[in-house]
Chain A
Amino acid sequence: AQTVTQSQPEMSVQEAETVTLSCTYDTSENNYYLFWYKQPPSRQMILVIRQEAYKQQNATENRFSVNFQKAAKSFSLKISDSQLGDTAMYFCAFMKLRNANTGNQFYFGTGTSLTVIP
C-alpha cells in the first residue's frame, strides 16, 4: 500500500520569506506522479505543482518549487517570497498509475496548515 506522510501539521512564515513543507511517501512502484495541492478556506483544492517520477529535474512553477529525492522517497515543497494568499492547507499527494479500467488512485497526506504572517 502507498502511504504519504506530512510530518508538519502547522507551519508559519513571515511574508516575503521562504518556507519548505516536507513530504515523504512509501511505495514499491517505480513510475508514479507526485503533487502538491493547496486548499484555502474556500475549500477549493488547487493544483500547485506536479512531478513525474521518471523526471530527474525538479518541477518549478513561479514561486513554487520541489525537491524530489526519489531514492529517499521525499518530495518537499519550497515557497519563495511568501504571500498572504499562500495561507492555506497544503496536501502532498501520490498518484499510482493504474490501467484504464481502474484509473489512478491518489493517496493524500494529512496536510500542513501554512499561515503567512504579515
Chain B
Amino acid sequence: GAGVSQSPSNKVTEKGKDVELRCDPISGHTALYWYRQSLGQGLEFLIYFQGNSAPDKSGLPSDRFSAERTGGSVSTLTIQRTQQEDSAVYLCASSSGYQETQYFGPGTRLLVL
C-alpha cells in the first residue's frame, strides 16, 4: 500500500517568509509525528497528533512553528517568519497507534536563504 508522502520534496525560501509543509500519512494511521533533521544530526521531535486528542506540541522550538491535522488525516506544518537556522529536513511519520512502529515519509528539505 501507499506509504507516507510529503510535499514539497524541496523548498527554498527567503528569510522572513512563511512556509507550509504537507504530510499525508498512511491511510488508517491515527498517529502522526513531525521531526526535524538538521545536517549531521539525528531527528528532533516537533509535534505529535493522535486521533482527535489535543496534540503534543512539546517539541516545537518556537511560537513560529505550528501544525494542524485536518480530519484526522493530512497534516500541515507551518513555519512563520523563517530563519536561516530553520533550514533542515522535515520528516513526517505515522503509526497505527501510540504503541506502534512509526513509518516515515521522504521528508521535505527546507533551505532558508
A contacts, CB < 8 Å to B: 4, 33, 35, 37, 42-47, 50, 91, 93, 97-111
Choice from B35, B48, B91, B107 contacting A103 with Cβ under 8 Å: B48
Closest to A105 in B: B45
Seed contacts A44-B107, A103-B33, A103-B98; 20 additional CB < 8 Å A-B pairs: A35-B101, A43-B89, A45-B104, A45-B107, A47-B103, A50-B101, A99-B98, A101-B50, A101-B53, A101-B54, A103-B31, A103-B48, A103-B50, A104-B98, A104-B102, A106-B33, A106-B35, A106-B43, A108-B42, A110-B41
B50 — which chain A residues lie within 8 A by C-beta? Answer: 100-101, 103
Task: Give 4 nearest A-B pairs by CB, closest first.
Answer: A108-B42, A45-B104, A103-B48, A108-B43
B95 closest partner in A (C-beta): A104
- B59 (CB) vs chain A CBs: closest residue: A105
How many residue pairs between the two chains, A and B, have CB atoms under 8 Å in the bound complex? 64
Residue total for B at the interface (Cβ-Cβ under 8 A)? 28
* Structural contact, B42 and A111, CB atoms closer than 8 A: yes
Q: Is the CB of A43 within 8 A of B54?
A: no
Known A47-B103, A100-B53; contact A91-B48, beta-carbon cutoff 8 A:
no
Q: What residues on B are CB-neighbors of A109 within 8 Å?
A: 42
Interface residues of B in 4-43 (CB under 8 A from A): 31, 33, 35, 40-43
Q: Name which residue of chain B comes closest to A4, CB basis.
A: B42
Contact code string B86-105 (vs A, CB < 8 Å = 1, else 0): 00010101010011011111
A107–B35 alpha-carbon span in the complex (Å):
11
Q: Roughly how many angstroms separate A109 CA and B91 CA in the complex, as a whole number?
A: 16
Q: Which residues of A contact B105 (CB under 8 A)?
A: 44
Which residue on chain B has the smallest CB distance to residue A109?
B42
CB distance from B78 to the nearest CB of A (A): 20
CB distance from A31 to the nearest CB of B (A): 10
B72 lies within 8 A of chain A by Cβ: no
Report which residue of A100, A101, A104 has the largest number of chain B beta carbons within 10 angstroms of its beta carbon: A104
- Which residues in B have their C-beta under 8 angstroms from that of A37? 104
Give Cα A112–Cα B62 distance, bound, in whole angstroms. Answer: 29
Contacts of A110 in B (CB 8 A): 40-42
